[in-house]
Structure 1
């Protein structure tokens, strides 16, 4: 009986891991507005691997992560990688513009003025929270707070390698 229960638990764990690793949850199709006022939708990002990063200028962890976010963007952009930095609704627009300019952010920074983008992505209230999307617009992984850089980069490389 113990062998049966152990076997059943192992099988269930394997099935659970398969569903977790092969998630095909599509990212919500929202409208982003860049600092320059350009609008685009999540569906416009298909064909690229994209990190959608929710952040704020008053978030210590967000600011600590920004050099790595810039480095990953610059290192992998030629392979079809992009970054969309979504400034939270509570972050004053002048602060976001100043930070973006002063730090020469090389990717698209958007303003979520009404909070609709954060709401669509699991009702994000605190930062940082990031979503790695595959080329089909599916969520590969969700990152909350600090994350292991080596594991992130490996996941990014694996996602970029898929067509």
Structure 2
């Protein structure tokens, strides 16, 4: 059995071996650092909302979804006031974690004209079971896979959840967020009209 080559064993074999082992370690460290930076850059890119497709906001207002109880939820009925649109799923832990905060935001701000709509990218039966355990005051639409396409058109190219889009009262996209919403986000957004 051969022992691994270390700096001390390398120097006893050949005087230049120590430099070779050191260079090799530096090369490996450099490759590892480059891979880490590249991976972090890719992760950052994936978590950034990308450009909204032309006409996507207008297309949203023409959409309609069914609610978990079978009613029709026409997005055009939310035009004219600020709207927080949240894409979520029951199998998404950060989505589930932020829903009570979004519900509180809705309760506290609906009198000042704010609206919140949740679009569930999920199976209708799963959403119904979930809402039986955690009822929400704001409307929820069953968007299914079509909701993923809508999210992509609004800049969520990776289809990650949660994804939140804030519309101003005139129907323009004002803010977007990939990932879990924070109280600071809601505070910033609530100043919008």
Same fold (TM over 0.5): yes
Structure 2: gaps (5+ residues):
1-55
CA separation in 2, counterparts of 1:108 and 1:147?
A: 18
- Taking the TM superposition and a 5 Å limit, the aligned residue runs for 1:1-163 are 26-29=57-60, 30-88=63-121, 91-113=122-144, 115-123=145-153, 124=156, 125-156=159-190, 158-159=191-192, 162=193
CA separation in 2, counterparts of 1:131 and 1:27?
A: 14
Residue pair 1:131, 1:143 contacting (<8 A) in 2 also = yes
Report the CA distance between 1:151 and its aligned residue: 3.4
Residue pair 1:31, 1:117 contacting (<8 A) in 2 also = no
Structure 1: gaps (5+ residues):
1-24
Q: Give the SS at the match of 1:28.
A: helix
After superposition, give the CA deviation of every residue in 1:122-156 in whole Å (9 maximum; x if it has no partner).
25522100111111221110111024421332222
Residue pair 2:105, 2:186 contacting (<8 A) in 1 also = no
Q: Give the SS at the match of 1:116.
A: helix
| Structure with more of its chain in strand, by fraction | 1
Report the CA distance between 1:96 and its aligned residue: 0.6
After superposition, give the CA deviation of every residue in 1:66-90 in whole Å (9 maximum; x if it has no partner).
11111101110111111111110xx
Q: Describe the shift of the 1:54–1:27 C-alpha distance in structure 2 as closer, same or farther (beyond 3 A).
A: farther
| Structure with more of its chain in helix, by fraction | 2
Report the CA distance between 1:92 and its aligned residue: 2.3
State the TM-score, normalized to the length of structure 2. Answer: 0.62
Q: Give the SS at the match of 1:142.
A: strand
State the TM-score, normalized to the length of structure 1. Answer: 0.72
Write out the 4+ residue segments of structure 1 that deviate beyond 4 Å after TM superposition.
none
RMSD: 2.3
CA separation in 1, counterparts of 2:112 and 2:185?
A: 19
Q: How many residues are aligned here?
A: 134
